[in-house]
Structure 1
């Protein structure tokens, strides 16, 4: 029988502090995030991911997206570099190895998946990343890219201990090869099994969230309210976790803080905007108010 998960609450947050940067900190030492994603169907996803990474304190952000979207995205997030990637006829990223070589070398953390609408494109990008020799790179894998891991289990092994997966219940079912209802019935079991298999921290999102370590230990967060069940919310969470990783948090602490910030910020927005109907892009502005000074 699985051990009961540890509550992810203010006590856990106090015992596992986020990094604090002192005098002499530069934007490079505060962490460099590369976000890869977007498509013609979902052109704004990386805006949510990238802004969340900056709002949790990452110092530099690069956003790599299909060429037809890159200029507009760069104007939406003027604090970031915008990288135009080759795209196919459907507006999905394609044959981007050469364009991504330098950006991958210049980042501490990669977040891959938000806004990608084609499994082939996501799998291609994962293979590209897993084929690098970047031994200090930490990776957040989100959305469409999660299901592609089934066919890349061997390629992912060198990244054990450096991966965070952020599936919702449907994505977890696809990855685990089970029915979604099974995930709903036993979320901790499935999160822990996948965490152990990939050597990853797994953030299984839902009305309650389970964060599982490869060791079998788990955290439980009671949820930030129904208002967070909205399009783009997961993109924000992935960016927050990536930003914390880039600043030097270990995967478990980055996941815990990311989930807690996301949920508590949702609660704060709900008090002013109402419990339902606020937008995912309103949430990251609350992050700096909750982070340690």
Structure 2
């Protein structure tokens, strides 16, 4: 495994935008998710995408949460989606224009019902264009197993961000087996789906379809907090939208997330800080 450290970061720079760049050319992210149970998760994802340098953000969530989300993230365009039992329902054509106007799509943060997540994921895999980069997060991850017929055309443009439980659900292995050999599990899924896999834990393993494996030693126990994964997914999506290849976007996203956690911990203490505090650190860590 290759250490994901300052040397790797130096060898694999994040995109740098020249003078004259517009908010559209700097990168456009569409984040889709949320539910009545966790209506604020998409705020974390969206803010992380912007703090990672994306120029434009759209967020799509259940209709009952859309107005409040728009007020919480005034920089974002908001799409109110049909709602069924507190989850995103059948979208019809509501996402056609937003999908056509994004460079990177992140789906899953804040969703809690696997059935709803699966239906949304299949809709997006059918409707999204061939040039969109995709981040699959949270409850949407296990549903990839039922979408194998649709996922092939996205090979080389996908990042999957599971923790051990989500990886276990995707692969039908136990969480203990995943923890015993995370490198093997991450490589297996990376090869099967043509995806970069960010297998999150105290030590994070990032595997690519070409068998490259990165290892990040972690940003501290404080990152084991609600919403932390939503932030990571948004950071990766933001970097993808700016033109970073999937492995570079995943590596930089994990590094920003971990080092952001370390910086917050120096002010707040090792535990007890909030996921919403992490994105504020990203601009200080990104290249100018």
Q: Distance in 2 between matches of 1:221 and 1:41?
A: 31
* Length-normalised TM-score, structure 2: 0.99
Contact 2:100 2:128 (8 Å CA) reproduced: no
1:92 to 87, 91, 97: 87
**Partner secondary structure for residue 141 of structure 1:** strand
Aligned to 1:247: 242
Among 107, 121, 124, the residue aligned to 1:126: 121
Quote how far apart the aligned CAs of 1:125 are: 1.2
**For each residue in 1:71-126, what CA deviation from the matched residue of structure 2 results, as whole angstroms up to 9, or x when unmatched?**
000000000011100001x2100011311111001100000000011111111111
- Corresponding residue for residue 290 of structure 1: 285
Say if 2:250 is the partner of 1:262.
Answer: no
After TM superposition, where is structure 1 displaced by more than 3 Å over at least 4 residues in a row? none
From 31, 37, 54, the equivalent of 2:50 is: 54
**What secondary structure sits across from 1:11 in the alignment?**
helix
Q: For residue 273 of structure 1, what is the aligned residue in structure 2?
A: 268
Number of residue equivalences: 288
Residue 142 of structure 2, aligned match among 137, 140, 147: 147
Aligned match of 2:70: 74
- Residue equivalent to 1:206: 201
Contact 2:198–2:206 (8 Å) recurs in 1: yes
2:188 corresponds to:
193
How many Å separate the matches in 2 of 1:181 and 1:46?
30
- 1:39 correspondence with 2:35: yes
SS in 2 for 1:214: coil
Q: Distance in 2 between matches of 1:103 and 1:122?
A: 18
Relative to the length of structure 1, the TM-score reads 0.97
- Equivalent position to 2:5, from 2, 9, 18: 9
2:161 is the alignment partner of 1:166:
yes
2:59 and 2:77 in contact (8 A); partners too: yes
Distance (Å, rounded) in 1 between the aligned partners of 2:125 and 2:45: 21
- RMSD across aligned C-alpha pairs, in angstroms? 0.6
For structure 2, the 5+ residue unaligned runs are: none
Gaps of 5+ in 1: none
Q: How far apart, in 1, do the equivalents of 2:43 and 2:130 lie?
A: 27
Between stretches 158-167 and 121-130, larger displacement belongs to: 121-130
